[in-house]
A and B are shown apart, each in its own frame.
Chain A
Amino acid sequence: DVKVTQSSRYLVKRTGEKVFLECVQDMDHENMFWYRQDPGLGLRLIYFSYDVKMKEKGDIPEGYSVSREKKERFSLILESASTNQTSMYLCASSSSRGVQGVRGNTIYFGEGSWLTVV
């Protein structure tokens, strides 16, 4: 089974603090993603990475940065946390090795990290 592990399930941080959210996957997937989920807004992509040391901005990258030094690990960094970054953060991974027309790439999610910024 694919396993995507997020290091922290629940965090409470103060405004202005630097926050690190860590994610590890064990399936040798090339692609890794960070989303946030907010009620009524669905899953919004923050950043993704398709290779080590590569990163691409998603839909809402402002206030966030990422780091991918190893294939299995993808970190989300909030440089200076703000209250509007209170949310559920979801890490995910996928392979690039689907079979066209038969089996596409499936994205697998971690359990999520609930971040509250006070």
Chain B
Amino acid sequence: DQQVKQNSPSLSVQEGRISILNCDYTNSMFDYFLWYKKYPAEGPTFLISISSIKDKNEDGRFTVFLNKSAKHLSLHIVPSQPGDSAVYFCAASEWSGNQFYFGTGTSLTVIP
């Protein structure tokens, strides 16, 4: 059973606008959440993370928001750039565990 879900397989955004990628999870024991970016033929690279004690974490153009009551997180990219075109995976883990649970990914296309 998929514990982390990304319900939008793809997203297209104009350059300079905001990209919003969404992720939902079902396990209330998850307390650490991560976003990864993946280009074709490369491994995923770590982008940004958030602990469950926060509801927002920002790093440059990237901001992750966490809504624990809704079991929902989102990644905002502002402004979007063509180089942001990639597949984005969200992941979740428990502090007490060593496993990571990934969503199925959202393919972002930023149109110049």
Contact = CB atoms under 8 A, between A and B. Distances in A.
Interface of A: 4, 30-31, 33, 35, 40-43, 45, 48, 50, 88, 90, 92, 94, 96, 98, 100-112, 114
Interface string B1-31: 0000010010000000000000000000001
A88 B32 CA distance: 26
Given A42-B102, A42-B103, A42-B105, A100 B95 contact: yes
A105 B52 CA distance: 13
B49 A106 contact: yes
A92 B103 CA distance: 16
B57 to A, nearest CB: 11
B43 A40 contact: no
Nearest to A4: B43
A42 B104 contact: yes
B93 interface: yes
Interface in B26-70: 31-32, 34, 36, 41-46, 49, 51-53
Given A43-B102, A48-B99, A94-B100, A104 B44 contact: no
